[in-house]
Structures are given as C-alpha cells and as structure tokens.
Structure 1
Amino acid sequence: MLEHLHLVALLKERKHITLRRIPLVAELQAMLTEKWQRQLDDFLLEAQEIDFDPGYTPEAHERFRLEDFALPEVVAAEHSDSVRHLEPIDMQGAEPSQIKAILGFARQDDGSEVLLIQSFSKSHIINPGQFLFFNRNNFESSETPALSLSDHLTAVYYPAQQKLLFRNYRVANTIFNLADFYKEATEDDIKAILAHGKLAPVNVDAIAKGASQWFCKRFALLKDSEILDQYTVAQIINHSNGYDLDIQIDVTTGQDRIVFPAEKAPAKKLLQFLNEELFRGAITERLFETNSKRIAG
C-alpha cells in the first residue's frame, strides 16, 4: 500500500521546470492514496517490461522500460517527505495553464520511494461555469478554478533503480525529455538520407519540408537500420517481390538508384518496406503492416 502520498504539479514554461505542491485535506489525501494505488496496480498488473524501442508500439500489457534514466534535477531533488515544503500552486494566476503532469511522490511498503506520473493538459483545468455539481437539490458551479485528475498513470519511476516505465513515448516525452533515447529525423536529416547514393528522390523539398511525425520517425529508423549501407539496390529490389511495390530504378548517374517518389502514398509504402514494416501472413498470404521492429525469438 502506498504511504505518504503527496501530489505535486510539474509546471513547464519553455524548458524551465517548476514544482508546486497541491495542498490536500486529510480525507482527500486518504481517498487519493487508494485511487492512485489502484492505478499503480492496474499499471503493473501482468505488465511485461520491454526495453524502449522507438520502432515499436507496445501492446496493452507491455510497458516500455528505460534503465539509468535521470530525472530533471528539480524533480530528482525531491521525495515524499520534502515535497510537503514546496510552494503551493497559485490557482488564481497563470500556473495552472503551465501544468504538464501531476506527480505522486510516495513510499511503498518496503520504504522505498516511488514516483507516480499522470499527464496533464489544459483540458484538465475546469474554470468557473464549465461544470455543474449537484448540491441540496440544485446545481452549482465553483467560483474558483479546479483540476481534473486522470484515471490512469502515464508512467512510473523508481528512484533507487533509476528506472522509468511508461506506455507511450510521445506522451512521456511531453513530461520528461526523452530525446536522448530517440530522435525523429529533422528536415536536414531527411535531406541527408535522401542524398544517399542508392536513392534518387524525385523532389527532395516536397518530401523533407513539413514532413509529418510518421515520416520523420521512419526516416530516422531507416538511417539507424543501415539497410541502404548493407544491401545493394539489386538485393533490395529482389526482396521487394511479392510486396505490391512498383519500385522504379534511376540509371542516369551510371549506377542503379531507387527512385524515391514525392507522393505521400507510394513514399509511405516504400519507407514501410525499407524499414521491414510489411509482411505477408503465413496462412492467408495477405499483406499486412506491422508496428513492431522487435526481433521475435
């Protein structure tokens, strides 16, 4: 059972992080301790920890794991006893709009610290007149802003092991900077990848400028995979048989190059193939997309 649970708002203004205590009356603190314990149980129940893999979307029972993850200094300096001395949040000012997460500092049965993390957005702020509650046969509204808490955890951190468990990279990345563990390709990165000697892009700017997160992620994966370095164009073309691809070859430079289309649909399919995200069912032989780059077995 969790002990000494205290809720803290993590505020972000640009890259600056500030912590603000969320004062709770004893009865509410006891109720939230039970609720957050249930959320922790749900987060860990039959959960399988897997090493963070940017090319994989975890299943419902899987949790990404980052070992040796250092929290921002302002967060790492606190624990379930010290946070009681933080300044309380100013609900009348701009601070609520800066909240990126609600942190639950607590201790476990064995006395070890645990940090429970809920993501938070402006939609969790309830301003006067936005909600009605029933009291003595009438509906009323609060005269002051209120905070709405989530019903599930975004992440859990174990300070003693420096281990972070989380469900979704993008959500966790809005709270803590995970860029060192995974970076999407920038516009310049994409242009550099398209300049590879085995690619002949139709229109570099059309592909690289304003590329969506999906494309930025796949280009980063393509670079990390070193597929273009390890296989010849002939080998790649040979392996494309059966994948419903119309790969064009450019020979204007005297060597074979794979034409990289500017249109999004064929470009997406080519990237999926190069990143080995297409496969055929062993029984039906239908073509499928996969979100997994984890090696089976």
Structure 2
Amino acid sequence: MNELTCNFFAILTDGQLRKINLTQDITTEVRRAFIDHAGDLSDNGLDQIEFEGNYVLDKGEIFFVSMELDPAISEAVRDAFGIQELNLGVDMIKTLFWFEDNVYYFQNFDSRKLLSNKKVLCYSNNTYHKLTNDAFILDNHVDGIYRDDKFYFYSYRNGNRIFSLLDFYKEATNEDLSTFSAHPIIEVDSAWLQANADTIIRKQIALISNAGILDTVHSEKIYRKARRLFGLVLDVHDGKINLPCDKKACKEILNFLNEQYYVGPVSGRKYITNSKRRIDN
C-alpha cells in the first residue's frame, strides 16, 4: 500500500472526511470487522431490487441504488495525504468505512460507541484501570457497500444514514397524504396539504411514514427536543403537532421529523444534513 493511501476513514456529520491511521498490529482486526462481516451484502447471487421505498425485501434479496460517489470520498482513498486525521475530541462521526479492491464497506456510528469522557475500566494484571484516552467501539457488521457505481443495503434507515436516499424515494400519493394527516400525533389541513405538497414534501412524508418515525414517540418529547436543540418552536396542542398551512414552515418541521437536523460539534451552529445550510434562530 502506498504510504499516501489509507484504508480506514470516517465521514463526519457535516460531510467532511477524516482518515484513521492504524498500527500494524490492529489493521488486520479492523479489516476483518468490515470484510469478514459484509455477509450477504457482498453476495452477487442475491436478487437485486432497485430501491424506491415501497417494497419489503424477502430472503435472498437486497436493495440497490445507482449513484455517483461523492468525489471527495474517491479522491481520499486514492491519496489520503491531505486528509486530516480523526480527532475524537472535536470530530462527530456519522459513518466509518473501509476501502479495499474498489469496494467501500460502510458502518454507521452513533454517540453510544464513543468512549470519550466515560468511566471505562480496563482489566490488566488482575487489576482494573481507567481508560485515559479517547476511544470508540468498532462493531462486527456492515450497513452498506458501494461497488461498480451502485450502493447496496438492506435497511432504508441504515442506508439513509450513510447516503441520502431521498432522491430515490417514491413520492407520497394523495392517499398517503390522507393517511399521514390522520396520524394520531399530527394535525394538518388535509385539503391544503394535498393542494400544496410539492415533490420535497411528498418525499419527506413518504420517508417519515414508511420509516415509522412517529409511531414510537410522544409529541411533547418532539416539542422539547425541537426547541432545546434547534430553537424550532412547534405548535403542539392536545398531543398533536400542528403542521402550518405554509410550505416553508411545513418543510422545516418535516425536515426535523425526518431527523435531518444536527448541531456542529465545535461551533454549536445548526445545520440541515446534505445541504449544510446554517439555520438562524
């Protein structure tokens, strides 16, 4: 391997890339966590189903989308010299990936895997010691792979965390909009929604509905998180979130419900994923 190349990278929540340098003794184990656990994602014998959002996989099937990889990712694996090294003190990881033989192996990441500022005890010589350095946990699984201009995955939720699948999702029909309008924690003028829902609104509602995002949460919890984290004040009455008859305001709420907001780890600024657009309160 060329000294300027690297196999192990992190994609941050703001889309930036970081390289992860490994010592020789751990490289093989990290590689196996990706290569050996890609499982059926690497099986060319599976039936490949083009993802459109309205299909449930059967055994022996896998989703794919045809897409161009972000040039920054492909350039990084060719020459990682100019890529900053991962700093767990400030960098917020979204996805980890391993690159080998023109295949990208992706594993999603969340804060539970980060061991910074946590009381972690390490066992050595019959004694437990405190972990003094920042660290993270690497799982033995792969959430998606990219090869030959296609992205393969099993789960929309996991795949969408790696790359936005909004462009590949079918729009919600008027019947779907009516079903969404009748959700127990949603209050909206169904006639207005059907008359004013553009492609973005219809795709967002399709994503929210099919992922079941609203089925296991309480409106008051959503209200508190929207206000505390993003300064987004929702209109909540009688346990229902009111979607206003205003396209811009409606889209902002749908973006939040579809979990497309995040806070920059250093500046504390607020962004919408993919566009990296700052939100001024």
The match for 1:50 is: 49
Supply the distance in 2 between the matched residues of 1:5 and 1:62 (Cα, whole angstroms): 32
1:167 and 2:167 matched: no
1:205 and 2:188 matched: yes
Contact 1:8–1:83 (CA under 8 A) maintained in structure 2: no
Among 86, 110, 123, the alignment partner of 1:89 is 86
1:103 and 2:100 matched: no
1:49–1:183 CA distance, 2 compared to 1 (3 A): closer
The match for 1:141 is: 130
Higher-Rg structure is 1
Q: CA deviation at 1:130?
A: 3.2
Q: CA deviation at 1:192?
A: 10
Q: CA deviation at 1:180?
A: 0.7
1:33 and 2:31 matched: yes
Could you say what secondary structure the match of 1:10 adopts? strand
Supply the distance in 2 between the matched residues of 1:100 and 1:143 (Cα, whole angstroms): 24
What is the identity, as a one-letter code, of the residue corresponding to 1:49? Answer: Q
1:174–1:35 CA distance, 2 compared to 1 (3 A): closer
The match for 2:20 is: 22
Q: CA deviation at 1:41?
A: 3.9
Could you say what secondary structure the match of 1:165 adopts? strand
Contact 2:176–2:206 (CA under 8 A) maintained in structure 1: no
Could you say what secondary structure the match of 1:23 adopts? coil
Supply the distance in 2 between the matched residues of 1:5 and 1:40 (Cα, whole angstroms): 19
The match for 1:240 is: none
What is the identity, as a one-letter code, of the residue corresponding to 1:205? Answer: V
Contact 2:6–2:80 (CA under 8 A) maintained in structure 1: no
Contact 2:143–2:154 (CA under 8 A) maintained in structure 1: yes
Supply the distance in 1 between the matched residues of 2:47 and 2:130 (Cα, whole angstroms): 43
The match for 2:74 is: 76
Superposed CA offset, 1:19-61 (max 9, x none): 1011100111122223322112453356432221311232454
Report how many residues are paired: 190
Contact 2:145–2:153 (CA under 8 A) maintained in structure 1: yes
Contact 2:88–2:116 (CA under 8 A) maintained in structure 1: no
The match for 1:126 is: 115
Q: CA deviation at 1:124?
A: 1.2
1:12–1:220 CA distance, 2 compared to 1 (3 A): closer
Q: CA deviation at 1:123?
A: 1.1
Contact 1:190–1:216 (CA under 8 A) maintained in structure 2: no
Supply the distance in 1 between the matched residues of 2:50 and 2:132 (Cα, whole angstroms): 46
Could you say what secondary structure the match of 1:146 adopts? coil
Contact 2:33–2:139 (CA under 8 A) maintained in structure 1: no
Supply the distance in 1 between the matched residues of 2:164 and 2:158 (Cα, whole angstroms): 11
Q: CA deviation at 1:64?
A: 0.4
1:31–1:193 CA distance, 2 compared to 1 (3 A): closer
Alignment of 1:147-186 (within 5 A): 147-158=136-147, 161-182=148-169, 185=172
The match for 2:9 is: 8
The match for 1:116 is: 105
Could you say what secondary structure the match of 2:104 adopts? strand
Could you say what secondary structure the match of 1:149 adopts? coil
1:6–1:141 CA distance, 2 compared to 1 (3 A): farther
Percent identity of the aligned residues? 21
Contact 2:7–2:100 (CA under 8 A) maintained in structure 1: yes
What is the identity, as a one-letter code, of the residue corresponding to 2:63? Answer: F
1:59–1:139 CA distance, 2 compared to 1 (3 A): farther
Supply the distance in 2 between the matched residues of 1:204 and 1:21 (Cα, whole angstroms): 45
Q: Where does the alignment leave 5 or more consecutive residues of structure 1 unmatched?
A: 108-112, 195-202, 222-263, 265-297
Supply the distance in 2 between the matched residues of 1:58 and 1:105 (Cα, whole angstroms): 27
Supply the distance in 2 between the matched residues of 1:90 and 1:73 (Cα, whole angstroms): 23
Contact 1:156–1:165 (CA under 8 A) maintained in structure 2: yes
Supply the distance in 2 between the matched residues of 1:206 and 1:19 (Cα, whole angstroms): 42
Superposed CA offset, 1:164-200 (max 9, x none): 1011112211221211101665xxx869955xxxxxx
RMSD (Å), alpha carbons:
3.6
